[in-house]
Amino acid sequence: MTPKDIPNATLVDTPQKFNLLIRNLQDEPCIAVDTESNSMYAYQEQVCLLQVSTPSADYLIDPLETLDLSPLGLLLADPDVQVIFHAVEYDLLCLQRDYGWKMENVFDTMLAARALGIKKVGLGNLIAEVFGVTLEKKYQRADWGIRPLPAGQLRYAQFDTHYLIRLKDYLTAELKKENLWEEFNEEVQRLINVCQRTAERAPEDEALRFWRISGSRYLDGRQAAILSELYNYRDKLAKRLDRPTFKIIGDKTLLAIATNPPRNMQALSHIKGMTERQMHRHGRKLMQAVRRGLNGEKLYPPVTPVPDEDIRVRFDKLQSWRKQRAIARGVESDVIVSKDVLWALARNNPSAPSELHDIRDLGPYRREKYGTEILALLAEE
């Protein structure tokens, strides 16, 4: 079947339709899932559409309607139900953030493709390669918060999960043929653990968020104080308007203002990135923020602990080893071992197989496969 021959997905936008969907999903051993959010169009993104597919049907769930989605969360948390995603990390974080959902039995088609050394791992690329089907891309940056959603957008969303179960079957066979099934599942579990820790992390101090702007740590104390005031002005306005901050004023423009603080409106208008429209809407407020920064307390970036020389040397050795391993296998370096695990190895400097168990996220498969090499490398003077 070509995409045009596939029946439209069922739109689930009432409690009655949702209850029927849950009944239809009860006996399914695997379910394909995807999410669409409105990060390009809102201050705080939220899940605006949930796509769900079984081998025989596609469903589009509208979470912006007054639906109690908790039965779906319970179903996806069942360890006997395999939940299939493509590039699962973002979806897991969104579903944990908005609904508190956790899942155990996950299959990620992108991770599977990376483990197999496939170079083009985008969903469209994989579907084209495996099934010879070309998917529409025009709605990748669409606003999923609008209602009603256009028919073309709904159709686009449907195909994000329609082929996932068949793709999972194909990739599973390839992973098992290449003896990579255990390694793949270990990596999926590591990613689930990382997402869980991220979701449980304490919220970032709002006063420190401006340090996330690229280049902010190269500013002096006075410039940083100005950037902080500019950032706070933009953030409060974006929140009030429910718009992404980049659609108010871009990071690079804020950084340029802080780097060369203008003394008047004319000087502000000549800052790289400032448009006439922004001058009209924000000029006076930006100048007020600049003056607050000029008169306020100087700010300096939080101190980040610097690894001592021994740790850095060990990390560099491990990184070189990982790169060689990846090249020999034809995969990206982090498929071998994640960067965080390399740092943990460099810091802990294990000297015996039993000590490898203390390295977080270094699972039994990689301990067995690479443990002897890693310990020998770390033992070198």
Alpha carbon distance 242, 370 (integer Å): 49
CATH class given for the domain over 206-295: mainly alpha
Task: Give the confidence band of 28 by pLDDT, cuts at 50, 70, 90.
Answer: very high
Structure confidence at residue 202 as a pLDDT band (50, 70, 90):
confident
Q: In this structure, what token pair is assigned to residue 246?
A: 């980049």
The contacts found for 308-313 with CB under 8 angstroms, 24 or more apart, are: 310/349, 311/346, 311/347, 312/346
Q: What's the CATH fold of domain 309-379?
A: DNA polymerase; domain 1 (1.10.150)
Domain boundaries, the chain: 3-200, 206-295, 309-379
Average of per-residue pLDDT values in the chain: 96
At residue 161, the pLDDT reads: 98
Residue 344 has which token pair? 């943990």
Domain 3-200 has CATH 3.30.565.10: no
Question: 141 in helix, strand or coil?
Answer: coil
What digits encode the pLDDT tens for the residues 61-114? 999 998 999 999 999 999 999 999 999 999 999 999 999 999 999 999 999 999
Is residue 210 within 8 A of residue 227, CB to CB? The reply is yes
Check if 206-295 and 309-379 are the same fold: yes
What is the pTM assigned to this prediction? 0.93
Low-confidence winner among 11-25, 53-67, 192-206, 266-280 (lowest mean pLDDT): 192-206
What pLDDT, in 10s, does the model give residues 187-199?
A: 999 999 999 999 9
